Structure 1
Amino acid sequence: MHSRTKIAAMACALLITAGAAGSAVASGQGGHAQREAAALTGTAKLYRSAGDDITFSFDAHLAAAHHDNPLKATGTFEWSHYLHGKGAWARARVDCLVTGGKVAVVSGVITASDLPGAKGKRVGITVHDLGRHDRLGYSWASVGSPVDTPDLPKCVGSAPFEKVKRGTGDYTVVPWEPKL
C-alpha cells in the first residue's frame, strides 16, 4: 500500500472512531444512552391483490422520561390509499402509543388530509412487527373511512389483518416495559 493510501485510511478510521465516541458521550450521562420507553417507526406498502397503492409511515415515540404515561407519546404517522388514480392521504399527530413485544397500537388526530371531513378525527393503527412479514390494522376497517369513526378513544386500533407488500419497507416496534 502506498503511504498516501495508508495515511488516508488511518485518518478515516480515526474520524469514524472519534465520531462514534462523541455520539456515545452526547447520547447520555457517562456514555450510557437511556432507551426510549416505546417506539413505532418505518414505512411500507400494504399488499392488495387488486393493485391498490397503500402506504403507511410511522415516527411515533414515548420518551424514557414519560415511561409510565403512553398518552405522552409524540410524533406523527401518515398514510395514503389510491386505486386507479382515486383515493386520499392523511397525516395524524400521535396522542398515544402502547407497545407489547412486537405489537404496537398508536392513535392520533388527523391534522392534514385531502379526505373531506377527516381533519380533527382520531384514528388508531395496530402494527405487528414480524421482520419482513409485518402486518397492520386500522380503526376504520369495519366502517370504510376514518370519517365514519365517531369518538374513537385514544390507543384503540384493530387486529393487524393487512399484510405488508414484500420488499416495500419495514416497521420497527420498540417494546414498552412498564413497571407493574
Structure 2
Amino acid sequence: MNGRTKVAALTAALLISAGAVGSAAASGDGDGGSTREAASLTGTAKLYRPAGDDITFSFDAHLAAKDNKDPAKAYGTFRFSHYVNGKGGWAKAKVDCLMTGGKVAVVTGVVTDSDTPFKGKRVGVTVHDRGGHDRLGYSWATGQDIEDVPRCLGSAPFEIVKAGTGDFAVLPWHPEYPTP
C-alpha cells in the first residue's frame, strides 16, 4: 500500500473504533459509559376480559445500579384502573420494592392516590414479559384482605394481556454475591 492508502485505512479504522466505543459508552456497555440500572419494569397494557372490562396497568419502576444489593430501594410509580360500564376505580402507587429475574418482575408499592379503598395500602403486582403475549398477576386477586402484603410479594401472573396492548419491558436483576 502507498502512504495515502495507509493513512486513509488507518483513519477509517480509527473512526470505526471511535464509533463503536461511543456506542458502547452511550448504551452503558463500556467501561467509560453510564452504568446500567440494576433492574426495571416499564410499560402499559390492558387485561383481556371477555365481558369487556377496561383494566389497565402501567409501570415505571426502577432500581439504580448503586442500590443493586437492596431491591427495597427501588423507586417510581405504577398505576392501575378497572372500569365496567363506566363504573370502577383507579389507583396510583409509589414503588417500594422491585425484583426481576429473567422476564419476570415483582413490584410492590403503597397506594398514594386512589378513588378505591386501596389508598394507603401496599399492593403487589407480578409481570411476565412474554413479548406481545404478556401476563400479569396482582395481590388482591383472591378478594382477601390486603392489609398485610409484604414488600416484594406479588401473585402468579395468571391474567392475560389483551392482544396488541402490552409493551411491558423487564430488565433482569443481577444481584452481586461475594466471592468465596
TM-score (norm 2): 0.81
Distance in 2 between residues matched to 1:64 and 1:57, nearest whole Å: 23
Q: What SS class does the counterpart of residue 168 from structure 2 fall into?
A: strand
1:33 counterpart = 2:34: yes
Corresponding residue of 1:179: 176
Letter aligned with residue 128 of structure 1: H
Q: How does 1:1-180 map to 2 (within 5 A)?
A: 24=25, 31-115=32-116, 117-143=117-143, 148-180=145-177
Q: Percent identity?
A: 65
Letter aligned with residue 38 of structure 2: A
What's the CA shift string for 1:101-148, capped at 9, x where partnerless? 110000000000011x3211000000000000000000000016xxx3
Q: Is the 8 A contact 1:42 1:172 kept in 2?
A: yes
Letter aligned with residue 174 of structure 1: L
Corresponding residue of 1:7: none
Return the offset for 1:28. Answer: 9.4
Structure 1 runs of 4+ with >2 Å offset: 24-31
72-81 vs 166-175, which moves further: 166-175
Q: Is the 8 A contact 1:25 1:31 kept in 2?
A: no
Distance in 1 between residues matched to 2:52 and 2:126, nearest whole Å: 22
Instruction: State the superposition RMSD in angstroms.
Output: 2.2
Structure 2, unaligned runs of 5 or more: 1-18
Distance in 1 between residues matched to 2:101 and 2:151, nearest whole Å: 16
Q: What SS class does the counterpart of residue 149 from structure 2 fall into?
A: coil
Letter aligned with residue 164 of structure 2: G
Letter aligned with residue 114 of structure 1: D
Distance in 1 between residues matched to 2:83 and 2:108, nearest whole Å: 22
Q: Is the 8 A contact 2:134 2:166 kept in 1?
A: no
Letter aligned with residue 94 of structure 1: V
Greater helix proportion: 1
Q: What SS class does the counterpart of residue 170 from structure 1 fall into?
A: coil
Letter aligned with residue 143 of structure 2: V
Q: Is the 8 A contact 1:73 1:94 kept in 2?
A: yes
TM-score (norm 1): 0.81
Aligned length: 157
Structure 1, unaligned runs of 5 or more: 1-17
Q: What SS class does the counterpart of residue 151 from structure 2 fall into?
A: coil
Distance in 2 between residues matched to 1:50 and 1:129, nearest whole Å: 24
